[in-house]
């Protein structure tokens, strides 16, 4: 599978936060959503609403997401971010926002893409959405 036509790109500044996973305590589901997650989600939604397409993208898609975390130490700049949050939880929140804001018809359509995390001067995410094509 390879990247086809580039459909759109988004840049959103802020501190990337993961999608909280429900926890089970004594047989009950407990939500662990934090204020930080809600702030990041709201920031993403505002940026996506500003740039979203007229109708949701359909068909096989590839989404690349580059997450940047603010480095307090200049020695970390450009280095891989190997701390929490996990990349899969960061990606899940992005896909949920893209679906809710009608950028993509369904997150099940995402067949591939690259997710990276690194230290930079400012935090945020750069998203690029492509059509997926067979090799």
Work out the average pLDDT over 55-71: 97
First-to-last alpha carbon distance for the chain, in angstroms, is 5
What CATH number corresponds to the domain at position 129?
Answer: 3.30.1330.70
Which residue segment(s) compose the domain that 41 sits in? 2-133
Q: What pTM was computed for the model?
A: 0.90
pLDDT in tens, 16-44: 999 876 667 777 766 666 788 899 999 99
- Residue 22 CB partners (closer than 8 Å, separation 6+): 29, 30, 31, 32
Task: Provide the domain count of the chain.
Answer: 1
pLDDT in tens, 88-123: 999 999 999 999 999 999 999 999 999 999 999 999
């Amino acid at each position: 599978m390879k990247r086809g036509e580039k459909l759109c790109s988004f840049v959103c500044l802020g501190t990337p936060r993961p999608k909280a996973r429900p926890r089970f305590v004594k047989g009950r589901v407990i939500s662990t959503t934090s204020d930080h997650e809600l702030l990041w989600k709201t920031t993403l939604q505002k940026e996506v609403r500003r740039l979203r397409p007229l109708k949701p993208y359909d068909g096989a898609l590839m989404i690349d997401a580059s997450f940047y975390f603010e480095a307090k130490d200049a020695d970390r700049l450009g280095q891989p971010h190997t701390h929490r949050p996990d990349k899969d939880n960061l990606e899940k929140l992005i896909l949920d926002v893209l679906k809710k804001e009608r950028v993509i018809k369904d997150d099940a359509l995402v067949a591939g893409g690259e997710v990276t995390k690194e230290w930079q001067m400012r935090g945020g995410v750069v998203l690029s959405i492509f059509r997926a094509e067979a090799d």
